[in-house]
Amino acid sequence: PVLVVDYGAQYAQLIARRVREAHVYSEIVPSSISTEELLAKRPLAVILSGGPSSVYADGTPNPDPQLFESGVPVMGICYGFQAMAVALGGTVEATGQREFGGTSLTVTGQGAVFSGLPERQSVWMSHTDRVSAAPEGFTVTASTDVTPVAAFENVERRMAGVQFHPEVAHTPHGQAVLRHFLYDIAGIEPNWTMSSVIDEQVEAIRAQVGDKRVLCGLSGGVDSSVAAALVHRAVGDQLTCVFVDHGLLRSGEAEQVEKDYVAVTGINLKVVDAQETFLKELSGVVDPESKRKIIGREFIRAFENAAREIDAEGPIEYLVQGTLYPDVVESGGGTGTANIKSHHNVGGLPEDLKFTLVEPLRTLFKDEVRAIGTELGLPESMVWRHPFPGPGLGIRIIGEVTAERLEILRAADAVARAELTAAGLDRSVWQFPVVLLADVRSVGVAGDGRTYGHPIVLRPVSSEDAMTADWSRLPYEVLARISTRITNEVPEVNRVTLDITSKPPGTIEWE
Ligand code: XMP
């Protein structure tokens, strides 16, 4: 792999993704890694990321000079560029002058990194210290008004560095800069593709599982669907999937899992129809936390029962989890199974059933998981499905959950989703909860008559990771169509409102 050394900024994951977009496999390693461990991973190249430190501050995680003697190609970015300069005998000075944001860069040399790129270009900067002298043997290839040494390289030693951030979208030629380093300086062949990932994972799963049986919990979400499809491709009928239909899914979603998904993958699917149980347990319950607890408990109960039955037909040894690379990196990176994020409610497993995890998406980012899903032939609506909470519509009905209310919410939600899709906005909106205020009524008029119906709340949000969010500025025409259609097509609803609260202070869901 290409190893991206993480110096603690938010940029390391982005760099890793960009390298992969250049069809070169990359992994993130912490800056605490020793040069020995790093070299043991046999990197094709090492990229030193940006970071918040100053190279001269105490306790700064500077790279080991040995790395530069190892013959491995190295690229430094921002802080990594400065750290590289110091380690190789150049100098870095604190100027006290910040250079931040879009900056005009002048390409000064015949650098391999800037080959074929415009002499003047805009780059994204974020630094205070700067390199004042490049290391001996290195050519300065670019500068800005405040940064005389904005890039340097030594092609013989296969090393280059840039002060700016090539990985961000605000550096229009950034991807070309990375590609030049990877292909022309480091000499790496761009052969990492989604089909090569599928082949590798299929091999790895077969090697791990052998002829043993595997269980998987399907939620209808992207990660579990793709993970199961990959495992199925590897071991076929050794895999059995369980889908608990709790009756709290949106219109068409259960059918999508039960029919479309099975039709495409040929997966062995056990559907547990638990709709009645869930409704019964939720009857009379209004408090959001109680609802969540009941839904979580019943889900595990239903899944456990199914798992036991399947286990009784022949012991199950493995369980598929759709853990993604960001979860792995954020929980300390590296290998091992510590700190696995509980996934789609299938967290609490029966004590007497001990499974080893199969995690075929552990090295992948979300966009790569989607690409694999597409390559495996999964329906687009599944591959691009928005995140959906485990407790489902149960926490989008404010008030008691009943079969009638679920029907109303499903109908309204289906309209909102269809119009969002028709407007081509699915991929620019992170999530679009539709909420039924079931205990609220307001007066309206329809034809010649008075109505006394329920309000619906539209909650479209934009977000990167659901930790923070902003309300999506959907075009008025789209909102108008949704409103007209819902009030026409769902007789119990006579008012449609828009939630314009960011997170914080609001959460994405209402309960
Ligand atoms: P909030 O409402 O806290 O939601 O802003 C953040 C994200 O998490 C989703 N969510 C859940 N996902 N089980 C899940 O799998 C849950 O119990 C759950 N509750 C909220 C929510 O849809 C949003 O994407």
* ipTM computed for the complex: 0.98
Nearest CA to ligand 1 atom 18: 389
492 C-alpha to center of ligand 1: Å? 27
| Residue 122 labeled ligand binder | no
Q: Residue 303: which of 227, 244, 221 has the closest Cα?
A: 244
Domains, the chain? 2-185 (3.40.50.880), 194-383 (3.40.50.620), 402-498 (3.30.300.10)
- What is the per-residue DSSP string for 48-116? E---S--TTSTT--PPPGGGGGS---EEEETHHHHHHHHHTT-EEEEEEEEEEEEEEEEE-S--STTTT
| Residue 222 labeled ligand binder | yes
509 C-alpha to center of ligand 1: Å? 7
| Residue 161 labeled ligand binder | no
Q: Which of 27, 153, 167, 281 does the annotation list as catalytic?
A: 167
Q: Residue 113: which of 156, 46, 160, 47 has the closest Cα?
A: 160
Q: Residue 408: which of 443, 438, 447, 450 has the closest Cα?
A: 438
Give the span between the Cα atoms of 371 and 369, in whole angstroms.
Answer: 5
Phi and psi at residue 498, to the nearest 5°? -115, 130
Nearest CA to ligand 1 atom 21: 389
pLDDT of residue 41: 96
Q: What residues does ligand 1 touch, defined as CB less than 6 Å away?
A: 344, 387, 389-391, 431, 466, 503, 507-509
Give the span between the Cα atoms of 22 and 176, in whole angstroms.
Answer: 9
| Residue 223 labeled ligand binder | yes
Report the percentage of the chain scoring pLDDT > 70: 96
- Ligand 1 pocket check: which of 388, 508, 510 to mutate, most ligand atoms within 8 Å of Cβ? 508
Q: Which of 99, 127, 153, 165 does the annotation list as catalytic?
A: 165
pLDDT of residue 331: 72
428 C-alpha to center of ligand 1: Å? 19
Which ligand 1 atom is nearest residue 463's CA? 24
Which regions in the chain score pLDDT beneath 50? 334-347
pLDDT of residue 339: 33
Which ligand 1 atom is nearest residue 503's CA? 5
Nearest CA to ligand 1 atom 20: 389
Q: Is 167 designated active site?
A: yes
pLDDT of residue 2: 98
Which ligand 1 atom is nearest residue 430's CA? 24
| Residue 220 labeled ligand binder | yes
Q: Which of 21, 27, 78, 359 does the annotation list as catalytic?
A: 78
Cis previous bond, 30, omega within 30:
no
| Residue 221 labeled ligand binder | yes
Question: Which amino acid appears at position 249 of this protein?
Answer: L
pLDDT of residue 319: 95
Q: Is 313 designated active site?
A: no
Q: Is 36 designated active site?
A: no
Beta-sheet strands, E only, within 90-180:
91-107, 120-133, 139-143, 151-154, 159-162
pLDDT of residue 150: 97
Instruction: Tell me the HSE value of 221 on the side-chain side, using a 13 A CA sphere.
Output: 22
Paired tokens of 360? 């075929």
Query: Exposure of 140 by Cβ count < 10 A (0-12 exposed, 13-18 middle, 19+ buried)?
Result: middle
Strand, coil or helix: what is 193? coil
pTM for this prediction:
0.88
pLDDT of residue 171: 96
Nearest CA to ligand 1 atom 3: 507
**What is Dmax (Cα atoms) for the chain?**
87
389 C-alpha to center of ligand 1: Å? 5
